[in-house]
Structure 1
Amino acid sequence: MKKLLKVIMSMFKEEKLQEFQDIEIKDVVMDSKKVQEGSLFLAINNGNKYIQEALNKGAAIVIGDKVPEEINDKRVITVENTIEIMQKLAREYRRELALKVIGITGSNGKTTTKDLITGVLSEKYITEKTQGNYNNHIGLPYTILTLPGNTEVVVLEMGMSSFGEIDTLCKIAEPNYGIITNIGDSHLEFLKTRENVFKAKGEMIKYISSDKLFIFGDDPYLKNVSGIKVGYLEENDYKINIISEELSATEFTVNNFEKYKISLNGKHNCINATMAIGIGKAFGLTMEEIQRGLEKSQMTAMRFEKKLVGETLYINDAYNASPTSMEYSLMTFDNLKVSKKKIAILGDMLELGEESVKFHKEILEKAIETKIDKIFLYGPLMAQGAQLVKNNNIYTFETKNDIVKALREEKEPIAVLLKGSRGMKLEEIIEQKEQK
């Protein structure tokens, strides 16, 4: 990572130029357990306690802000704030690589859109993306600092929970292209209203020219934003029509004549895919290249992920949940063409603020309007919502083990949807079921 070393030497040229000129950085880590010979170790918070351990393992450079007094090693750079230095290094390294940066924000669909865009652009460019949930003021600069020197495009998720965070991330990443997937109910615990969610997500807008900003045009909060609009309404620049949806794939057209196919289900995933199509076109890819990229996309786990355990088909959509994504998931599951009894397991939706029970009640009202055979609930918020919605197809459970027992008592083949916030860890139901 010679280009990263160049940036570090430039930033600390007065005191460290001679010491660093013969160093080779092999990787960048924030966890001292992952330090190896040649690592750049970024000591954040408690990480400062493990600086000596990192040095003993052969770290090439250590940057810390609370370096123990007894450590006197030329490989250590002491700074006032490690996180701020990370952010500055990331911005300069991004410039050194001459990257094209695509920033993605929105209440739902960021990860799937990121995965699809990466798959598409990888057909023509050396493309990297945010891994896991590294999408905040620490994770985003870390992602940039770990990029190989030959990276041409990076697709970055930009998460937030309050005002000013998207602004900070844009200042670090300096995105060339932007995507706002939608404005939903996520983060209402902190931001209180959808209007505030829009203001917070919309901090990206001033950093992207309108001809490079892709937005969900059907969203009432985004329809008046100047940009390239994607959606199902006639006025969108990329208008979607679904042709057919099967268990293994969905076919759709864009602007009534370009036909595409994805191995995903649901109207929302056609929107995510069309964002990737629009970005692909902006980067000069052909329809054939875009389709190949959509097919090859490596999707992040627990996003409507299908898994067959015996005769039971699990749809693991349990990475996270909000009222909007919960409704998308239920609609998609309801429309799924599968000859099995359908059971939806719904966990609490967290961080929704004062009206949380109201949101759970509303989602249950929508759930009972579907053709889903049974609705299993897990969590105190879902239980409170259920008390306000009387229906014979709703069942509440206190433990995941009780849910597993109920699933095992089903006498016919079943398809099971799991949807809830990350804190509910509904995927453990599959793990327990497999241990039968």
Structure 2
Amino acid sequence: MKIKKGDVKLKAFTEILISYFQEHKFNLSKDIFITDVQMDSKKVTKGSLFIAINNGNNYVGEALERGAEIVICDRDIKELNFSNVIKVENSIESLQNLAKLYRKKLKLKVIAITGSEGKTTTKDLIFGVLSKTYKVKKTLGNHNNHIGLPYTILQLKEEDEIAVLEMGMSGLGEIELLSQIAAPDYAVITNIGDSHLEFLINRDNVFKAKTELLKYVSPERTLLYGDDPYFKAVDGIKIGFENQNDYVINNEKDSYEGLSFNLNEDSYFIPLNGAYNTINASFGIVLGKILNIDYLEIKESLKDIEITGMRFQKIVKDKTLYINDAYNASPVSMKMALKAFASLPLERDKVVVLADALELGDKEIEYHKEILTEALKYKFYKILVYGERMKKASKILNDPKIIYFDDKMKIKDFIQNMENIGVLLKGSRGMKLEEIIM
């Protein structure tokens, strides 16, 4: 196979692939050369390695037609008679093993981010700070689990210098697995909250799950939110609002354009709202300092930051200002969003739309009642709620300011009949509140 100039990026991976399958009694031709790794058959091009995950086994034929160099599958399919189709016991395990081997070959630094809230925004902010100085890649979309993280690693190039990898989980042992694959050099844990309590039962277990990462990174390369009670006795670089932290956030001021704040003595501005984003930005600032980026470069890079959508995203439609914070939700993040929205200076009436927070376990109605109680503390014009959990919680509170809707489109109609309003949308991913804006 003729190698194009641009294809040299995966030379190391091709060598790993050949060696890996030799150990598993598959002899691949030394002439193969992999140009990229895909899990979506529609993205396969000539030279791709296609790894068929779950239903992907049904699209092996399509991947071959598109020019896949090698296909890995784990089901009996008609294409098994092709010399470049390899059947393994488990495609996901092969994906993970190949990513682990490739990571060892790469000379880059890995920054691993986990926590109950703020992972994606923190990832974006760290990427923004570092990417003007280094060749940096970050987690693709929401590829932060046992499939997405190894897939992201297999998208890295040998010339990349830093990878910023988000680590998600829903149970014990998952961060451990991701850490073994990613072999992180630096760790960031944003906080310990109430996410995934349906599976983990309590915050103590959330703490155990998130801190599985700490076994793989030394304390002097571990960044923690120091105000979180769970981190008081944990060694690491601590960032927060309290004076005992290594880096203290102070003088924060919120405007429509964003946040200005100090970290220790240095001043910064980010085009984001909500005091919690000063914490997320500070993780990026401190990592920038550790990696020898000077103050002015860090300061300038933060002004141009680009954040993944549906994270306190401002959208104006039909003269209504929407704050789309509807990517996901937990009790902690919903309360933070309510506080941020309440403090946002707007010459408009403020309306909040709150949908169910999912995966909270036996105390889910109590948590939703707490969220609505928090919303009632602020001077919001109306509180519109959607979802069975919000319905039950609103009935308990029985406040005339809270209005329940059984259909998102009815909320949309209600909003369209109002004038000069700002609307916060906040709920779990499964509730898809962003459809109200469409």
TM-score computed with the length of structure 1 as normaliser: 0.96
Matches within 5 A, 1:324-403: 324-403=332-411
**1:12 Cα deviation (Å)?**
2.1
In 2, Cα distance between equivalents of 1:357 and 1:235: 36
Moved over 6 A (4+): none
Q: What are the superposed Cα offsets for residues 207-251 of structure 1, whole Å, 9 maximum, x if unpaired?
A: 110000000000011121100001000000110013321011110
Matches within 5 A, 1:40-59: 40-59=49-68
Q: Which of the residues 409, 429, 435 maps onto 1:422?
A: 429
Amino acid corresponding to residue 379 of structure 1 in structure 2: G
In 1, Cα distance between equivalents of 2:171 and 2:202: 12
1:125 maps onto 2:143 in alignment: no
Q: Is the 8 A contact 1:116 1:293 kept in 2?
A: no
Please name the residue that 1:115 is paired with: 124
1:175 maps onto 2:184 in alignment: yes
1:318 maps onto 2:326 in alignment: yes
**1:70 Cα deviation (Å)?**
5.4
Q: Which of the residues 274, 283, 290 maps onto 1:275?
A: 283
Q: Is the 8 A contact 1:123 1:292 kept in 2?
A: no
Amino acid corresponding to residue 202 of structure 2 in structure 1: T
* Matched residue SS, 1:362: helix
How many aligned positions are there?
428
1:302 maps onto 2:302 in alignment: no
1:383 and 1:417, CA in 2 relative to 1: closer, same or farther beyond 3 A? same
Please name the residue that 2:158 is paired with: 149
Q: Which of the residues 108, 111, 125 maps onto 1:102?
A: 111
1:290 maps onto 2:295 in alignment: no
**1:66 Cα deviation (Å)?**
1.8
Please name the residue that 1:434 is paired with: none
| Cα RMSD (Å) | 1.3
1:163 maps onto 2:176 in alignment: no
**1:138 Cα deviation (Å)?**
0.5
Please name the residue that 2:6 is paired with: none
* Matched residue SS, 1:155: strand
Q: What are the superposed Cα offsets for residues 62-110 of structure 1, whole Å, 9 maximum, x if unpaired?
A: 1122242653222122222211111111111112121200000000000
5+ unaligned residues in a row in structure 1: which ranges? 432-436
* Matched residue SS, 1:313: strand
1:17 and 1:52, CA in 2 relative to 1: closer, same or farther beyond 3 A? same
In 2, Cα distance between equivalents of 1:428 and 1:266: 23
**1:183 Cα deviation (Å)?**
0.3
Q: Which of the residues 44, 64, 73 maps onto 2:73?
A: 64
Q: Is the 8 A contact 2:189 2:210 kept in 1?
A: yes
Answer with 63-72 or 86-95: which moved more. Answer: 63-72
Answer with 397-406 or 154-163: which moved more. Answer: 397-406
Amino acid corresponding to residue 32 of structure 1 in structure 2: S
Q: Which of the residues 115, 132, 146 maps onto 1:137?
A: 146
Please name the residue that 1:34 is paired with: 43
* Matched residue SS, 1:218: coil
**1:53 Cα deviation (Å)?**
2.4
Q: Which of the residues 220, 227, 235 maps onto 1:218?
A: 227
Q: Is the 8 A contact 2:190 2:280 kept in 1?
A: yes
Answer with 384-393 or 346-355: which moved more. Answer: 384-393
In 2, Cα distance between equivalents of 1:356 and 1:27: 43
Q: What are the superposed Cα offsets for residues 381-407 of structure 1, whole Å, 9 maximum, x if unpaired?
A: 101110111222111111111111111
Q: What are the superposed Cα offsets for residues 179-201 of structure 1, whole Å, 9 maximum, x if unpaired?
A: 11000000000000001100111
Amino acid corresponding to residue 93 of structure 1 in structure 2: Y
Q: Is the 8 A contact 1:52 1:71 kept in 2?
A: no
**1:39 Cα deviation (Å)?**
1.1
Answer with 60-69 or 135-144: which moved more. Answer: 60-69
1:275 and 1:54, CA in 2 relative to 1: closer, same or farther beyond 3 A? same
In 1, Cα distance between equivalents of 2:79 and 2:93: 24
**1:350 Cα deviation (Å)?**
0.5
In 2, Cα distance between equivalents of 1:376 and 1:228: 41
* Matched residue SS, 1:160: coil
In 1, Cα distance between equivalents of 2:86 and 2:302: 44
Amino acid corresponding to residue 120 of structure 1 in structure 2: V
TM-score computed with the length of structure 2 as normaliser: 0.95
Amino acid corresponding to residue 420 of structure 1 in structure 2: G
Amino acid corresponding to residue 347 of structure 2 in structure 1: S
1:2 maps onto 2:19 in alignment: no
**1:377 Cα deviation (Å)?**
0.4
1:228 maps onto 2:267 in alignment: no
Identity of aligned residues (%): 52
Amino acid corresponding to residue 398 of structure 2 in structure 1: K
1:413 maps onto 2:413 in alignment: no
In 2, Cα distance between equivalents of 1:392 and 1:130: 43
Please name the residue that 1:12 is paired with: 21
Amino acid corresponding to residue 426 of structure 1 in structure 2: L
In 2, Cα distance between equivalents of 1:38 and 1:367: 54
